[in-house]
Chains A and B, each alone.
Chain A
Amino acid sequence: MTSYRPMWAELGLDLERHDVLLEALGGMYSDLFLSQKNRPKSMDYFDFVVSEIHGLRVKELQDHRAGGGKVVGLYCVFVPEDLILAADAIPVGLCAGAQFAVPDAEEVLPRNTCPLVKSSFGFKLSGTCPYIQASDFVVGETTCDGKTKMYEILAEYHPVHVMEVPQKKTPLGRQLFLEEVHGLKAKLEAETGRAITADGLAQATTLVDGKRRALQRLQALRRARPAPISGLDALLIIQIAFYDDVVRFTEKVNALCDELDERIAKGVGVASADAKRIVISGSPMAVPNWKLHQLMEASGSVVVGEESCTGTRYFNYLTPESDGSLEGQLAAIADRQLETNCACFTPNDERLDDIVTLARGWDADGVVHYDLQFCHTFANEAVKVERRLAEERIPLLRIETDYSDEDVGQLRTRIDAFLEML
């Protein structure tokens, strides 16, 4: 750990507070993950990535920068990773999932703000996220009012480029987003001094689609009974997808899937075949937000899917065919991004279908709708989710929570009662 200290100091981290964070994270990880029974052997790689969460990967980014490349921070699935890769820049998901930095953010932002927004901002303020420190700029998006306004304030501390995401998937909305994709391309070219070419972009898109396919394969394997992998491990893998090297990550996910194929053939699982199967739907879970999965699985159920930005919304959409021209590819990328059934859109009824498809296709006994506190888009959309699932006769539990542990007792009671009910 000490060997990274000079790098962290160079990045301007608050070393003392960063030590506290890493220690807490390490303890939490061994309690939640390493203590799980019968994990696939291939999780070793992902354990290693987490053990180096602020070390080796950050060093790779710094090495890339030393060679003249750029690093671009992001928080959301709407930012097209392939466009960034095509400019020989590295996209990286930023820290947004820990209570640790929330009190820092609350010195500036209103307290009645979603924990993901507060955590994102707090990590910058407290100097404890090496990823934002290593990023040359951040690409934000207008997916909710909290984030939109937070980016304005964040821009006082770090360079920020904001993409406007429309609220309707109309021709006008699509045109707007295509303009925004062009705008990001221009921004990337100006920052990196490199022109994005049709060939370069096609290669990058192939890589990103490959990553998505690997995650789709993993998701398909979670259909098996008994479940071959815990929801906690699957969630972790999707969280890591946001910041790991795309080629290496894809390879490792496929290797894991090979192992899961064998497990399924032998009937090996992480839970008994009659364990209650749960689909989680709602707000994103940024690393290290493992709270709900941990509670669900500690209560004896197994999570088999996430209709979430750290779930199907991250990997469901592949790039549509284009004529191969740069223009055509950019349009295909814009279309792909707008496929996302995020609660920022109105209407967003396709998301209701997605939840039902996941619950039925994965043989789920019930759905847990997860709202981050003050996440108004998902909280309000939950009303429609509730109605639809009642129609479909799929049991639903609605949970609203934040990153702190103070409500764990009450959550356990609800979860236990829900599982007993199924």
Chain B
Amino acid sequence: MTYAGLDIGSRTIILVEFDGGIRDYRIVDAGTNPLQRCEGLLAGRSYRRLVATGYGRRLAEGSLADGIVSEIKAYALGARHLYPDCRTVIDVGGQDCKASRLSESGGVERFEMNDRCAAGTGAFLEAMARTLEVSVEELGAHALVAESTVRINSLCTVFAQSEVVSLVARGAHGPAIALGVHEAIATRVAGMARRVGPKERVVFAGGGALNACLRQLMSRKLGLELTVPEEPQIVGALGAALMASEE
């Protein structure tokens, strides 16, 4: 019996197939027509039940998906499946960042989430990477070689971008600026995480967790060890698949 979870995010779409364990998973770009992407991704596959999560979950409701669940609950379920002692989940995604504290039994007790502003999200990192002319995948490594850092004062993506441009114009080193950018986002996300009263074990997931510099800074700022799953991006889709399997 195979179940599936589909996480329709702003930047990526992730499919997890579940049959008691993770059978397979796929990560694709969301593109400009996410529903079409989902249809392509699901072509030729069929499941006993599929649950959708993510920003685009309602697009799939009633057509591709048998049910929907918020990312916050999906990440909680996925993280608990991977780490049964998980009490806090931090998720930095494409356009959202979220922190949730879980009860001993795994239910969401408290959560915080950014509002419409892109500060503290993957979109912020992408914009900064573009300005520094490195890929978003390389941005973390770029920052880790910095010998010094500069302070980025603005958390607003648009203002921070012009701040970075003027730092570049003043001859600041790319890696130092990149480190400053990571400092800014880590401060923001750690502040949000502190508001939920984080307890260990803390699982850091979402695309942002792929960034080694962000992992390091967040752990330092929170004074907590962060556990990053092997595939941090699939945790939400895994949680949705678990929901599907619970019928």
Contact = CB atoms under 8 A, between A and B. Distances in A.
B113 interface: yes
B114 A410 contact: yes
A416 B107 CA distance: 14
B192 interface: no
Given A416-B70, A417-B70, A417-B113, 12 more contacts: A407-B116, A410-B114, A413-B96, A414-B111, A414-B113, A416-B68, A417-B71, A417-B100, A417-B108, A417-B111, A420-B69, A420-B73
A421 interface: yes
Contacts of B14: none
Contacts of B70: 413, 416-417, 420
Interface of B: 55, 58, 68-73, 96, 100, 107-109, 111, 113-116
B96 to A, nearest CB: 6
A409 interface: yes
Contact of B72 (A406, A407, A409, A413): A413
Contacts, number: 44
A406 B116 contact: yes
A413 B71 contact: yes
Contacts of B72: 413-414, 416-417, 420
A400 B113 CA distance: 12
A406 B55 CA distance: 13
Sorted from nearest, which 5 A-B pairs have the closest CB atoms?
A417-B72, A416-B70, A407-B116, A417-B70, A420-B73
Contacts of B58: 412
9 contacts: A410-B115, A410-B116, A413-B55, A414-B111, A416-B69, A417-B71, A417-B113, A420-B73, A421-B108
Interface string A394-418: 0000001100001101101110110
Contacts of A416: 68-70, 72-73
Nearest to A397: B111
Which of A400, A412, A416 counts the most chain B CB atoms within 10 A? A416
Nearest to A402: B116
A399 B131 CA distance: 32
Contacts of A407: 115-116
B239 to A, nearest CB: 11
A417 B109 CA distance: 10
For A401, A410, A412, which residue has the most chain B Cβ atoms within 10 angstroms? Answer: A410
A420 B55 CA distance: 16
Contacts of A412: 58
Nearest to A413: B70
A414 B116 CA distance: 12
A415 to B, nearest CB: 8
A271 to B, nearest CB: 18
Contacts of B71: 413, 417
Contacts of A409: 55
Interface in A366-422: 400-401, 406-407, 409-410, 412-414, 416-417, 420-421
A407 B117 CA distance: 9
A124 B68 CA distance: 43
A421 B107 contact: yes
Nearest to A390: B110
Interface string A81-113: 000000000000000000000000000000000
A41 B70 CA distance: 34
**Interface-centre pick from B69, B96, B116 (highest chain A CB count, 10 A):** B116
Contacts of A400: 115
Interface in A326-380: none
Contacts of A417: 70-73, 100, 108, 111, 113
Residue from B58, B107, B114 having most chain A Cβ neighbours under 10 A: B58
A422 B140 CA distance: 38
Contact of B96 (A410, A420, A421): A410
A402 to B, nearest CB: 9
A95 to B, nearest CB: 25
A416 B68 CA distance: 10
Contacts of B108: 417, 420-421
Nearest to B54: A413
A228 B76 CA distance: 35
A70 to B, nearest CB: 43
A410 B111 CA distance: 13
A407 B116 CA distance: 5
Contacts of B68: 416
B110 to A, nearest CB: 8
Contacts of B55: 409, 413
A420 B111 CA distance: 12
A409 B68 CA distance: 14
Interface in A290-338: none
Nearest to B107: A421
A417 B236 CA distance: 13
Contacts of B116: 406-407, 410
Nearest to A409: B55
Name the residue among B69, B70, B113, B115 with the largest chain A CB count within 10 angstroms.
B70
Contacts of A401: 115
A403 to B, nearest CB: 13
Nearest to A299: B70
Nearest to A373: B115
A148 to B, nearest CB: 27
A417 B69 CA distance: 8
A375 to B, nearest CB: 14
Contacts of A421: 73, 107-109, 111
